[in-house]
Amino acid sequence: MATVRLKKGFDIHLVGAISDGTIVTASLPQSVAVVPDDFHGVIPRMEKKEGEHVIAGEPLYHDKNYEAIKVVAPVSGTIKEVRRGERRHIDAIIISPDQNSEALTHDLKRPAEEVLLGSGLWAMMRQRPYDVVPVPGVRPRDVFVTAFDSAPLAPDLGIVLGDKRKYIAKGVEVLNGMTDGKVYIGIREGQDLEAPGAEVTTFVGPHPAGNVGIQAANTVPVNKGETVWTMDIITLARIGELFSTGKVSHDTVVAVDGEMVQQPRYVQTVMGADLETVLKNELTNVAKSRIISGNVLTGVKVEASQWLRAPYRHVTIIPENNKPDEFMGWASLNPKRFSIYRTFTTWLGGLSKPVSMDSRIKGGERAIVRTGEYDAMLPMDIYGEFLIKAIISGDIDKMEQLGIYEIAPEDFALAEFADTSKLELQHIVRVGLDKLRAEMS
Amino acid sequence: MNKIEPSFRPGGKFAKLESVYDGMETFLFTPNTTSRLGAHIHDGNDLKRTMITVVVALLPALLFGMYNIGYQHYLAIGQAHTGWFTMFLFGLLAMLPIIVVSYGVGLGIEFISAQIHHKEIQEGFLVTGILIPLIVPINTPLWMTAVATAFAVIFAKEVFGGTGMNIFNVALITRAFLFFAYPSRMSGDEAFVKVDSAFGLGDGTLADTFTGATPLGQVATNVGDSLQMTDILGKPISCMDAFIGFIPGSPGETSMIAILIGAAILLLTGIASWRIMCSVFVGGLGMAALAHALPSATYPASMLDPMTQLCLGGFAFGAVFMATDPVTGARTNVGQYIYGLLIGVFAILIRVYNSGYPEGMMLAILLMNAFAPLIDHCVVSSNIKRRARRAAAKE
C-alpha cells in the first residue's frame, strides 16, 4: 500500500465540531427535492409531470444529450412542484413523500453501464476533465475514490458509511469491470478500510488531501485526452449495494455542525430531505445564520426552507456577518481575527485552535498581487496562479498546457479562502471548465 | 457613514465622488459584503493589511532617514553637537513637504482614475507614496517630485490597469524619471545633503571643508590606485559608518540597520519573498567579490571590498523593498532565485564598470522588472513540457 505525503494545504479548525459519533434519526421529511444544478453537465428533460406519483428510484428526468443518463426520485411520493427560475431553468423538483417504502428494482443481467445509467447513480459520479457527470460510452482510464473528507468540520465518512461498508468490495468489482485501469481508493492515515480489488493509497497531510482530484494528481495525473471517473466512498458503496440487491439506497447520514449549531451531531435521513426536518431545533437564529449544504469551502448556501443537496453529506451553519461595520479591521491586532498569514497576530496563539469565522469576505476584490498564495494551497504539480490567469483571459491553449484537465473547482476552494485579492476562484475555474467543454464538443 | 451613503450612490448629489466615498468607507470599516458563491469563509488578510505592513516595515528607514538628514545638515554647518531631537525635527520638517507632495499627487491621480473607471480605490500607492520620498534626493525641488510622481503613476501604472498590473516598480520609475530628466539635480555635491534651513530651522553657514558627495559619488570620481571615502567634512569613513547610516545619501538608503529591521518585518510576516531578497544579496556579494579580485584604477569601485559594496548606496534598500515587489518581480519560486541573483549581479556590474552611473541598483531592478515575465515564462514552460511529455509517454 503506497503512502503519499502532501505538504501543501491547510487545515482550518472551526468551532462547532461534532464530539461523538452518535447518529440521531430524523423523522420522515415533509418534502424531498432533487436539484438539477447538483448534477453538473446534465441538462434536464422531464419524464414526470407535477402531480404524478413516483416510487423511489424511478427516473424524474434524463439528460438532453444522453437520454440514458437518468436522475431519479430518492423517495416514493407525489411530485408536488417542478420549481422553475429564470428562463425556465429547473430550480428543484419537489416531492411529497408517502409512507410507502417501495423502491424500483433493477435488472442486473443487463450490462453494468446500462444499470448504472438508469439507476441514477451514474449522475452521482464525476469525470475529469471538466468535473461533470461522466459521458456514457467513454471507458475511463482509471477510477478514483476518496474515502475521507478533509474539509473544515467534515464528517467522518466511516460513520456516514455505517453498515454499507460491506458493499465496497462489490462496488470495486463492478467498477473494475468498467475500466481498463484500476480503481484507486484514497484513505487517510490510520483509516481502516477493506477494499479487495482496489489500489488503496494512504494520504498524509492537510486539506485538500481528501479531495479526489488532489489524490488523482498525486498518484496518476490526468492527461489531455484521458478520462477518469471520480466519486467518494459513499457513492462507491451505493454502487456495490445496487449490484448486490438490485436497489439503490437513498438513505444517508449527514453531519450537522458549525458554530450556530447548538448540538453538532450526525443525522440519519434521506437524500434531498427538507432542512426543516433535518435541522429541527437548530433553526432558532435563522436571520444571523448562514446554512450551507456541504462544507464552508465548497458547499452551497441554502435557505431553511430548502433541501439537502445531493453531493454533500454535510450541513454547516456559520454566522452571517457577525461583526457588521467592523471599525478599521485591516489595522486589527486582535488575535481572534483569523488569518493564516503573519500579517495578523493569530499565528502567535497557534493556528490549530478552533476559531469562529463568519461569512464576510473581509476585503475588496483586487488584482493578484501576492505571489505563491495559490500554489501553497494546491498540492498539485500546477502553477495555480498562471492557470487562473489563463482562464480569466480565456486562453484555451494555455489552460490546456497548464493542466486544467486535472482540476475541479473544489481544488481551488482553499486558495479562494486564503486569497488576499479575494477572487472567486472556484467560479473562475467552473467558467473556464465549461467554456473549454463547450469549445471541445 | 451609512447615513450619508445614499448621496454618493448613482443618482445621489455626490455620485461623482462614489469611489472616494468607497475608499473612505472601506478604510474605516471592514466591508460588510458576504460571500456570494464559492468559499463561505475568507481569510482576514486583505491588500490593505498587506500594504500597511510594508509601510510599517519602512518606518525604521524613514525615521532614521529623517534623523540623518538633520545630522548631515548640522554637520555641514559646523554644529555637530546639536541635540538629537533638533536633528530629527529638522529632518522631519525637511521631508514632510516631499511626503505630502508624493501622497497628494499620487493618491489624487489614483482617486480620479478610480472614479473614471468606477472602480474601488486600490491600495498600491500607500507603499509607493512613502517609497518615493525615501529614494529621492532630499534637495529635489518639490515640483520635480510632483511631475515625476505624476508621470510614474500615470504611465507606469494606470495605463497598465492599476495596482497589480504594472510592469515596472512605480517608485523606481519616479526616480528614473528624475534621474534622466534632471540629471544635474540627482547627483553631485548638492543633491543629498540639505544645506539650507527647513521652515526656518537650522540656519547657518557651511563649513569650509564641506563637500556633499555621497561615498559612491566619491568612488566614481576617484583617481589613482588608492581609495578613501570621506564624510561631508572630509573625515574618512568606514564600512561601519555605512552600516549604521551616518553618511550622505537618499533618506531611506543610508542605514543598513534600519533596512535590516524592515527586512525582518517583511520576512517574518511573509510578505516579501525571502528567495528574492537573499538571492539579490548573494548575487551582489558574488559580483562584488569578483570585481574586487580584479581591482583596477580605471574602475575605482572595484577597489571596494564586497561588504562595503553592499552597505553603500541603495543596494540594501533596493534588495529589501524594491526587488521584492511581488507585482513587478518574478512570480514563480525558481524564477525568483534567478531574478534576485541577476539584480544583485547587474547592480554591482553597473556600479563598477559603468562610470556614468555611480549607483546601479535602480537600473538593475528596472531591467529585471522587464525580464521577470520572461523568466517566469521559462519556468512555467518547463512545467508545460513536463506535462506534455507525461501525456506523450502514455500514448
From A292, A343, A401, residue closest to B40, measured CB to CB: A292
User: Is B378 within 8 Å of chain A by CB?
Assistant: no
pLDDT digits (tens, 9 = 90+) for A357-370: 988 888 888 888 88
- Chain A residues inside the 8 Å CB shell of B39: 296-298, 413, 416-417, 426
Residue A182 predicted with pLDDT over 80: yes
From B26, B327, B333, residue closest to A369, measured CB to CB: B327
The pTM of the full predicted model, rounded to 2 decimals, is 0.91
Residue A250 predicted with pLDDT over 90: yes
Residue A337 predicted with pLDDT over 90: no
From A316, A346, A363, residue closest to B31, measured CB to CB: A363
- Shortest distance, CA B68 to any CA of chain A (angstroms): 29
DSSP B192: S
Give the pLDDT score at A145. Answer: 96
User: Is B333 within 8 Å of chain A by CB?
Assistant: yes
Complex ipTM value: 0.89
Q: Return d(Cα B207, Cα B28) in angstroms, integer.
A: 50
Domain with CATH 3.10.20 in chain A: 253-321
Q: Which three cell numbers stand for residue A188?
A: 487517510
Give the pLDDT score at B6. Answer: 66
pLDDT digits (tens, 9 = 90+) for A383-399: 999 999 999 999 999 99
Q: Which three cell numbers stand for residue A27?
A: 423523522
Contact A362 B2 (CB under 8 A): no
Contact B33 A382 (CB under 8 A): no
User: Is the distance from CB of A242 to CB of A302 less than 8 angstroms?
Assistant: no
Q: Return d(Cα A413, Cα A199) in angstroms, integer.
A: 27
- pLDDT grade for A118, boundaries at 50, 70 and 90: very high
As a whole number, mean pLDDT of residues B229-248 equals 80
A396's enclosing H/E stretch is helix A396-401
- Chain B residues inside the 8 Å CB shell of A371: 273, 326, 329, 331, 336
Within 10 Å of residue A112's Cβ, how many Cβ atoms? 16
Please tell me which residue of chain A has the smallest CA distance to B54.
A343
- SS3 at position A184: strand
- Shortest distance, CA B380 to any CA of chain A (angstroms): 7
User: Is the distance from CB of A234 to CB of A157 less than 8 angstroms?
Assistant: yes
User: Is B382 within 8 Å of chain A by CB?
Assistant: no
Residue A153 predicted with pLDDT over 90: yes
User: Is the distance from CB of A421 to CB of A13 less than 8 angstroms?
Assistant: no
From B37, B122, B273, residue closest to A366, measured CB to CB: B122
Q: Which three cell numbers stand for residue A200?
A: 488503496
- Chain A residues inside the 8 Å CB shell of B36: 424
Nearest alpha carbon to residue A105 among A115, A95, A93: A115
- Chain A residues inside the 8 Å CB shell of B29: 325-329
Residue B56 predicted with pLDDT over 80: yes
Residue holding cell 534637495? B139
Give the pLDDT score at A379. Answer: 94
- The CATH number assigned to the domain with range A253-321 reads 3.10.20
- A vs B: CB pairs below 8 A: 205
* Helix-, strand-, coil-residue percentages of chain B, each rounded to 5: 60, 0, 35
Give the pLDDT score at B162. Answer: 82
User: Is the distance from CB of A68 to CB of A136 less than 8 angstroms?
Assistant: yes
Q: What are the φ/ψ torsions at residue A379 (nearest 5 degrees)?
A: -75, 65
- pLDDT grade for B15, boundaries at 50, 70 and 90: low
pLDDT digits (tens, 9 = 90+) for A14-49: 999 999 888 999 999 999 999 999 999 999 999 999
Contact B34 A427 (CB under 8 A): no
- pLDDT grade for B376, boundaries at 50, 70 and 90: very high
Please tell me which residue of chain B has the smallest CA distance to A360.
B34
Q: Return d(Cα A123, Cα A143) in angstroms, integer.
A: 15
DSSP B124: H
Amino acid at B43: D
Beta bridge partners of A201: A2, A186
Q: Which three cell numbers stand for residue B286?
A: 558574488
DSSP B34: B
pLDDT digits (tens, 9 = 90+) for B188-206: 667 777 777 777 777 777 7
Residue A331 predicted with pLDDT over 80: no
Amino acid at A426: Q
Nearest alpha carbon to residue B170 among B143, B130, B223: B130
Q: Return d(Cα B58, Cα B286) in angstroms, integer.
A: 27
Residue B171 predicted with pLDDT over 80: yes
A381's enclosing H/E stretch is none
**Per-domain residue ranges for chain B?**
16-30+46-204+232-271, 273-395
Residue holding cell 548640522? B74
From B29, B39, B326, residue closest to A426, measured CB to CB: B39
Residue holding cell 443481467? A109
